[in-house]
Amino acid sequence: MIPFFRALILLALLYPLAVATTPVEAQLVTFSSSELTIETAGGKRHFTVEVARTPEQMAQGLMFRRSLPPDAGMLFEYARPQIASFWMKNTLIPLDMLFIAADGRITGIHARAVPMSLEPITSDTPVLAVLELNGGTAERLGIKPGDRVDHPLFARSG
Predicted structure pTM score: 0.82
Asked if the 29-150 domain carries CATH number 3.40.1390.40, the reply is no
pLDDT the model gives residue 27: 74
Residue 26 vs residues 15, 30, 58, 121, 127: alpha-carbon distances, Å: 16, 12, 17, 28, 32
Digitized pLDDT (tens) for each residue of the chain, 158 residues in all: 455 444 444 444 444 444 444 445 557 899 999 999 999 999 999 999 999 999 999 999 999 999 999 999 999 999 999 999 999 999 999 999 999 999 999 999 999 999 999 999 999 999 999 999 999 999 999 999 999 999 999 975 44
- The helix or strand, by DSSP H or E, that contains position 45, with its residue range, turns out to be strand 43-52
For 149, half-sphere exposure in the C-beta direction (CA atoms, 13 angstrom radius) is: 33
Query: If you write DSSP's letter for every residue of 86-140 in order, what string do you get?
Result: E--TT--S-EEEEEE-TTSBEEEEEEEEPTT----EE-SS-EEEEEEEETTHHHH
